Structure 1
Amino acid sequence: MIKQKYFFPTVVLLLIIAMLLSLRYGAVTSQWSDVTRALLKFNPENQGEQLIRYLRLPRMLGAASVGAAFAIAGALMQGITSNPIADSGLLGINSGAGLGLVLVFVLNANPSPSVGILGSFLGASLSIFLIYLVSNRISFGLSPVRIVLLGAALSAFFTALSQSISLIFNLNQDITFWFVGGTANLTWNQLQVAIPIIMIGIIGAILFGPQISLLSLGDETAISLGKNPRRIRQMSMLFVLLLAGSSVALVGTISFIGLIVPHVVRFFVGHDYRYVIPASGLFGALFFVGADTLSRLIAPPLETPVGVIITVIGVPFLLLQIRKGSI
């Protein structure tokens, strides 16, 4: 496939360019010489290099990791539920992770990154458990609309509960960042905990790609080939938990990346999940890094939350999919 042949090197090149632009541009525009020195010959006494090394570099790496994680999580959800508009945000998983994070702040006003991620995992696990139970019911599994409605109900419930708890315990200043979504507060300490977890989820998802492709042929076909559809779905849900839970702990309850990206990459690489999953990871990283850089340039020196930008893009895309009859 010609599209597939050129897709991967093109996206890798664009991702490298987007990462470099992310390091240079922001409220303060740095020089390319500062970027080069910050990466290769860092001088801790140079303020321009400090800005890049301690603020923009972790932000850029976090944006790339989270973009890949959300996109792959969405591709996995679409594959195992046979739902073309499944996404960890639309199905309430991100909101569940956000609720877990809020409860962590209730118990500890200044939680460590590992504790925050653990809270996100627990909240996301609750959402995934409910979605998994319902998706195994034939009456729901054959209806993407019902799954989305369930996800919307879960998302609204968890979001309302999170906001109520934050008001009761006066957590608005601490938790508002996670409600709107953003990368401005990312630190090296957070990335040291979250990125290894995200990498485990990405590698696991790629390894399970061929088995997820079998599910599109039907459970009977997968069983006839010696595969266990229930186990494939369970392991895929585990990878979604790792990807979505750690990502929400880093940047908040951002939706729509997992909806948009898999649809875009399927146009170029087809429907084989051996290619859809890695392609989604690369394009998701590019998409999020680009959106994050744009969020700093729309109205400097103020920042537009990157979650708002992605939602502005995602809602029309969802409506377009509905109009085209994708659900």
Structure 2
Amino acid sequence: MQVKNYFPGMLWLAGLALIVLLAVLSLFLGAKHIDPALIRSALFQFDPANIDHQIVINSRLPRAVGTLLIGGALAMAGALMQGVTRNYLAEPGIMGVSDGSVLAITLSMVFLPQATDLERIVFSFAGSALGAGIVFGIGSILPNGLSPVRLAILGTVIGAFLSSLAAAVAVYFQIPQDISFWYHARLHQLQPGQVYLAVAFILTGMLIACRLGRSVTILSMGEDIAISLGQRTLAVKIAAGAAVMLLTGSAVALAGKIAFVGLIIPHIVRFFTGADYKGIIPCSGVIGAIFLSLSDLLSRFMNYPFETPVDVITSLVGVPFFLYLARKKGGNRYA
């Protein structure tokens, strides 16, 4: 118990140090070798005429920052969803949230091709809310539809439908090449302007999520217990939904659908910190950033010098983890 009490603080210190190290490695490692002195000069004495400086500032730096933000955002969104729904299989990529965002972005590219980065992010927010609303709405009217395994199956089916619909729209309007980026989560195509614009939305979502830690802990005990303790459960759910929308919508708008980060990380963190979401949520953000950054670094060299989509790496870890949870815990919720 004493270890669990101290673990969040220890994790923060070690995690932040590792995040800095991974960000540096992301700048130094890539298909093209760039001398460390050139990387330092690109950061502090940028020369637009230097190709290596352009690669560092316009490709590697936004990739390093964006990957850390996206990993942290998806992990925190997964922790929130698991706590609020008391569903150990809840995760943006499984519950239709990410697929709804992809559909919304596809529609925006078809009907509003001149949309700004900000408008595209807003469309992604709306799509994430739509995807989650459909999955949980249908689940609530089906017999035992909100049980973890059934809801996960329903989310997978609805997500596949939304993703297929997005693909059909892209093919019909002849934009499959433009939209393929959002289907394969190619982090090497992150745009600097989009990354730096999304920072404010992701940090806002993270702040809301962290502030909800105590309330989510109470809600995870069961709605009846939460109400008896005087909690306004509807307000907590709305605030948590807004945070998930900001975190997932921003992540998908930046890099497309990346599954299983929000499923794996909260379980790993919960094993060390216990059931208190005041520790689970922020620590999930740290570990999620580290996990996705490590996956991104591995994806660069799995088929060197070609890039491997990072969702291949996350799926190799996530699918066995998903099957393990489904087999071990069956259809029961956890408190």
TM > 0.5 fold call = yes
Residues 275-313 of structure 1: CA deviation (Å, up to 9, x unaligned):
101001011111111111211122222100111211122
The answer on whether the counterparts of 1:128 and 1:237 sit within 8 Å (CA) in structure 2 is: no
Q: Cα–Cα, structure 1 residues 81 and 140, in superposed 2: closer, same or farther, change >3 Å? A: farther
- Of residues 290, 293, 314, the one that matches 1:310 is 314
- 1:48-63 equivalence runs, <5 A: 48-63=52-67
Contact 1:7/1:268, CA 8 A, preserved across alignment: no
2:149–2:330 contact (8 Å) kept in structure 1: no
Q: Report what 2:122 is aligned to.
A: 118
Larger mean CA deviation between 266-275 and 34-43 belongs to 34-43
The one-letter code matched in structure 2 to 1:98 is: V
How far is 1:11 from its partner?
A: 1.6
Which residue matches 1:285? Answer: 289
148, 151, 161: which one aligns with 1:144: 148
Inter-CA distance 84–95: structure 2 relative to 1 (3 Å threshold): same
Tell me how far 1:128 sits from its aligned partner: 2.2
Is it true that 1:320 corresponds to 2:324 in the alignment? yes
| Among candidates 69, 72, 78, match of residue 73 of structure 2 | 69
> Structure 2 CA distance, aligned partners of 1:177 and 1:128?
22
Alignment of 1:1-327 (within 5 A): 1-2=2-3, 4=7, 5-134=9-138, 140=144, 143-325=147-329, 327=331
Report the CA distance shift for 1:279/1:326 in structure 2 as closer, same or farther (over 3 A).
farther
TM-superposition CA deviations, 1:159-186 (whole Å, max 9, x none): 1101111110111100111111121221
In the TM superposition, what whole-angstrom CA distance separates every residue of 1:141-198 from its partner, at most 9, and x where no partner exists? 7511121122112101101101111110111100111111121221221123211111
Give the count of matched residue pairs: 327
Distance 1:325 1:101 in 2: 35
Q: Distance in 2 between matches of 1:326 and 1:26?
A: 42
Structure 2 unmatched runs, 5+: none
Asked if 2 retains the 8 angstrom alpha-carbon contact of 1:63 and 1:285, the reply is yes
Alpha-carbon separation, structure 2, partners of 1:260 and 1:122: 25
TM-score by length of 2: 0.92
CA distance in 1, matches of 2:42, 2:273: 36
3-state SS of the aligned residue for 1:245?
Answer: helix
Q: 1:206 to 1:133 in 2, by over 3 A?
A: same
Moved more, 76-85 or 190-199: 190-199
Identity of aligned residues (%): 37
Distance in 1 of aligned mates of 2:142 and 2:160: 25
Unaligned runs of 5+ in 1: none
What CA distance in whole angstroms lies between the structure 2 residues aligned with 1:202 and 1:141?
A: 29
CA root-mean-square deviation: 1.8
4+ long deviations beyond 6 Å: none
- The residue matched to 1:285 in structure 2 has which SS? helix
